[in-house]
């Protein structure tokens, strides 16, 4: 291990055997945390080559026997604010005959997690055993469950160390972490939603593109069909940020209501998956996805899915209940919205109780907010910018004060290629020789 740390420290590429040895020792706990932490910091300072990243990903993915793939398509988002796309996309794909069995995570920090959102539906169970998942996917084509502890255990250990050693933010480490879990799950067609902007890991388009390209290359190296969309987090996706409130918005989207950007992003991701799985022309794939959303097939699938994972049927009749203190957020000045601090908006929801500061914290499903304002919009004093749902008046006031801080007025500083929702599409990449 010392030899491996020194090589990375000195910018010398690791061999395949070095990486196998490294990952074997992570899984069986031979390497202590302090040596792994030193190696992680060397990676952050010097980087890994693409080939080292491929081998690291493969070693982490394939350290355990592979289960048979449960679905045909999968999606991964690098994490954002208001990102409830899985709740719409999963039943939409299943309604088109493309089974989706997705392992999801919980929210941490300012970003929300799909499992927390689903668990705001009374009765909804997210821990199923493999046989149940298999049966459910065979029967209805969709399952979204908590990540199994067996999947890519090396990543679990490394990720926990990265979180506390300032070594999360490195493109090779992020790409190998995400892709090891996706390769281990075995799904052949994968769309990646790489978020960029104030609410995302990647602060600018160049970084996001580099991350997307590396993940697409890793997929190619291991013979998976992978496309990445780079999407904007210059503002939350849709209006709702929280748990039950995001499920309500997803149910709206499935029934032809709700914000246009959520619908646009879901359809773009769906079209990519149809294209990857069947080779359908992208425009035609988009039309197929739109038809299944518009004629109610996706909604019907959603209702089957919720019932199958134990969710209360009443939950589907109307919006899930929200926290008792409802306060509106109104504009106090006139002007054009130059930028929004998306991370700050996520933080407001977190402080209301919708998220967790630490992994063991509980979330309150009923609190959250709606943010109607989008970058570039011109507003007048008194315009409704959003709504807060809080447990107490005090919490609501703090949230309104926090939201007011997230808006900057003036001419927008966005460059042309940074505006819009879908900023780039990465599908073909040069492979290192
Ligand atoms: N998500 C992951 O799973 N891993 C990372 O390193 C970053 C985001």
> Do 197 and 236 reside in the same domain of the chain?
yes
Q: How far apart are the CA of 76 and the centre of ligand 1, in A? A: 10
pLDDT confidence tier of residue 417, bands split at 50, 70 and 90: very low
Q: How far apart are the CA of 252 and the centre of ligand 1, in A? A: 29
Asked if residues 124 and 290 have their Cβ atoms less than 8 Å apart, the reply is: no
Answer yes or no: is 368 within a domain: yes
pLDDT at residue 188, as a whole number: 96
**Per-residue pLDDT averaged across 78-85, rounded?**
94
The residues with which 189 forms a beta bridge, in sequence order, are 73, 225
Ligand 1 atom nearest 173 alpha carbon: 6
**Phi and psi torsions of 107, nearest 5°:** -70, 150
Catalytic residue list contains 76: yes
- Give 123-145 pLDDT, tens digit per residue: 999 999 889 999 999 999 999 99
Average pLDDT in the chain:
94
pLDDT at residue 430, as a whole number: 83
Catalytic-role residue among 156, 181, 224, 263: 181
For residue 418, pLDDT over 70 is answered with no
Q: How far apart are the CA of 44 and the centre of ligand 1, in A? A: 15
Catalytic residue list contains 326: no
- Give 240-276 pLDDT, tens digit per residue: 999 999 999 999 999 999 999 999 999 999 999 999 9
Answer yes or no: is 170 within a domain: no
> Do 292 and 341 reside in the same domain of the chain?
no
pLDDT confidence tier of residue 357, bands split at 50, 70 and 90: confident
> Do 277 and 253 reside in the same domain of the chain?
yes
Ligand 1 atom nearest 168 alpha carbon: 6
* Structure token pair of residue 197: 């902007």
pLDDT at residue 147, as a whole number: 81
pLDDT confidence tier of residue 414, bands split at 50, 70 and 90: low
pLDDT at residue 415, as a whole number: 52
pLDDT at residue 416, as a whole number: 42
For residue 428, pLDDT over 90 is answered with no
Answer yes or no: is 225 within a domain: yes
pLDDT at residue 277, as a whole number: 98
**Per-residue pLDDT averaged across 361-373, rounded?**
95
Q: How far apart are the CA of 363 and the centre of ligand 1, in A? A: 21
Q: How far apart are the CA of 217 and the centre of ligand 1, in A? A: 17
CA distance 59 to 24: 8
Pocket of ligand 1 (CB under 6 A): 78-79, 159, 168, 173-174, 177-178
> Do 34 and 115 reside in the same domain of the chain?
no
**Per-residue pLDDT averaged across 172-184, rounded?**
95
Nearest CA to ligand 1 atom 5: 174
**Per-residue pLDDT averaged across 31-57, rounded?**
98
> Do 284 and 333 reside in the same domain of the chain?
no
Nearest CA to ligand 1 atom 7: 174
Q: Which domain holds residue 195?
A: 73-152+187-316+420-426
> Do 333 and 392 reside in the same domain of the chain?
yes
**Per-residue pLDDT averaged across 211-233, rounded?**
97
Q: How far apart are the CA of 82 and the centre of ligand 1, in A? A: 18
**Per-residue pLDDT averaged across 69-89, rounded?**
95
> Do 288 and 329 reside in the same domain of the chain?
no
Ligand 1 atom nearest 178 alpha carbon: 3
Strand bridging mode 142-146 / 100-104 = parallel
Residue % of the chain over a pLDDT of 70 = 98
Q: The CATH number of the domain where 310 resides is what?
A: 3.40.1030.10
Pocket test residue of 78, 166, 185, 202 for ligand 1, highest count of atoms within 8 A of CB? 78
Q: How far apart are the CA of 78 and the centre of ligand 1, in A? A: 7
> Do 221 and 266 reside in the same domain of the chain?
yes
**Per-residue pLDDT averaged across 170-178, rounded?**
95
CA distance 268 to 415: 22
> Do 193 and 225 reside in the same domain of the chain?
yes
pLDDT at residue 201, as a whole number: 84
Answer yes or no: is 235 within a domain: yes
pLDDT confidence tier of residue 109, bands split at 50, 70 and 90: confident
Asked if residues 427 and 227 have their Cβ atoms less than 8 Å apart, the reply is: yes
Q: Structurally, how many domains does the chain consist of?
A: 3
* Structure token pair of residue 379: 């507003």
What string of H, E and C letters represents the secondary structure of the chain?
Answer: CHHHHHHHHCCCCCCHHHHHHHHHHHHCCCCCHHHHHHHHHHHHHHCCCHHHHHHHHHHHHCCCCCCCCCCCEEEEECCCCCCCHHHHHHHHHHHCCCCEEEEECCCECCECCHHHHHCCCCCCCCCCCHHHHHHHHHHHCEEEEECCCCCCHHHHHHHHHHHHHCCCCCHHHHHHHHHHHHHHHCCCEEEEEEEECCCCCECCHHHHHHHHHHHHHHHHHCCCEEEEEEEECCCCCCCEEECHHHHHHHHHHHCCCCCHHHHHHHHHHHHHHHHHHHCCCHHHHHHHHHHHHHCCHHHHHHHHHHHHCCCCHHHHCCCCCCCCEEEEEECCCCEEEEEECHHHHHHHHHHHHHCCCCCCCCCCCCCEEEECCCCCCEECCCCEEEEEEECCHHHHHHHHHHHHCCEEECCCCCCHHHCCCEEEEECCCCCCC
Catalytic residue list contains 155: yes
Catalytic residue list contains 343: no
For residue 149, pLDDT over 90 is answered with no
pLDDT confidence tier of residue 209, bands split at 50, 70 and 90: very high
Answer yes or no: is 333 within a domain: yes
Nearest CA to ligand 1 atom 3: 178
Catalytic residue list contains 286: no
Asked if residues 142 and 90 have their Cβ atoms less than 8 Å apart, the reply is: yes
Catalytic-role residue among 75, 76, 117, 157: 76
Catalytic-role residue among 50, 74, 155, 364: 155
Catalytic-role residue among 37, 177, 180, 339: 177
For residue 364, pLDDT over 60 is answered with yes
Q: How far apart are the CA of 330 and the centre of ligand 1, in A? A: 36
Pocket test residue of 146, 147, 174 for ligand 1, highest count of atoms within 8 A of CB? 174
pLDDT at residue 106, as a whole number: 80
Ligand 1 atom nearest 174 alpha carbon: 6
Of the listed ranges 28-32, 125-129, 211-215, the least confidently predicted one is 125-129
pLDDT confidence tier of residue 318, bands split at 50, 70 and 90: confident
């Amino acid at each position: 291990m010392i030899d491996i740390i020194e090589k990375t420290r000195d910018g010398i590429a690791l061999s395949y055997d070095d990486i196998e040895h490294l990952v074997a020792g992570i899984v069986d706990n031979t390497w202590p945390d302090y040596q792994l932490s030193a190696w992680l910091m060397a990676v952050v300072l010097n980087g890994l080559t693409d080939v080292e990243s491929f081998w690291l990903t493969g070693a982490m993915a394939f350290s355990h026997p592979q289960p048979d793939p449960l679905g045909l398509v999968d999606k991964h988002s690098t994490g954002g604010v208001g990102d409830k796309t899985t709740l719409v996309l999963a039943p939409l794909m299943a309604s088109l005959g493309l089974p989706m069995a997705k392992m999801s995570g919980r929210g941490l920090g300012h970003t929300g997690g799909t499992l927390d959102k689903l668990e705001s539906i009374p009765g909804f169970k997210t821990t199923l055993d493999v046989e149940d998942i298999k049966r459910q996917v065979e029967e209805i084509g969709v399952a979204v469950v908590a990540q199994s502890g067996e999947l890519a255990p090396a990543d679990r250990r490394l990720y926990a160390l990265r979180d506390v050693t300032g070594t999360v933010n490195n493109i090779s480490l992020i790409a190998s972490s995400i892709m090891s879990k996706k390769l281990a799950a075995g799904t052949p067609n994968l769309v990646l939603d790489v978020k960029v902007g104030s609410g995302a890991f990647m602060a600018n388009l160049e970084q996001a593109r580099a991350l997307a390209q590396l993940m697409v290359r890793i997929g190619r190296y291991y013979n998976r069909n992978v496309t990445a969309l780079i999407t904007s987090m210059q503002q939350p996706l849709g209006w709702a940020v929280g748990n039950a409130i995001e499920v309500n918005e997803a149910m709206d989207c499935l029934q032809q209501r709700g914000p246009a950007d959520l619908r646009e992003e879901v359809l773009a991701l769906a079209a990519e998956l149809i294209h990857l799985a069947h080779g359908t022309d992208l425009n035609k794939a988009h039309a197929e996805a739109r038809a299944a959303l518009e004629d109610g097939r996706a909604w019907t699938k959603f209702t089957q899915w919720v019932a199958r994972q134990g969710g209360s049927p009443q939950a589907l009749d109307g919006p899930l209940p929200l926290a008792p203190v409802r306060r509106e957020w109104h504009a106090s000045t006139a002007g054009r919205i130059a930028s929004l601090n998306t991370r700050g908006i996520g933080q407001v929801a977190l402080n209301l109780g919708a998220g967790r500061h630490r992994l063991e914290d509980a979330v309150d499903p009923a609190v959250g907010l709606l943010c109607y304002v989008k970058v570039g919009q011109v507003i007048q004093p008194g315009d409704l910018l959003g709504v807060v749902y809080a447990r107490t008046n005090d919490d609501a006031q703090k949230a309104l004060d926090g939201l007011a801080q997230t808006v900057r007025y003036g001419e927008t500083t966005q460059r042309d290629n940074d505006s819009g929702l879908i900023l780039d599409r990465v599908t073909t990449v040069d492979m290192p020789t």
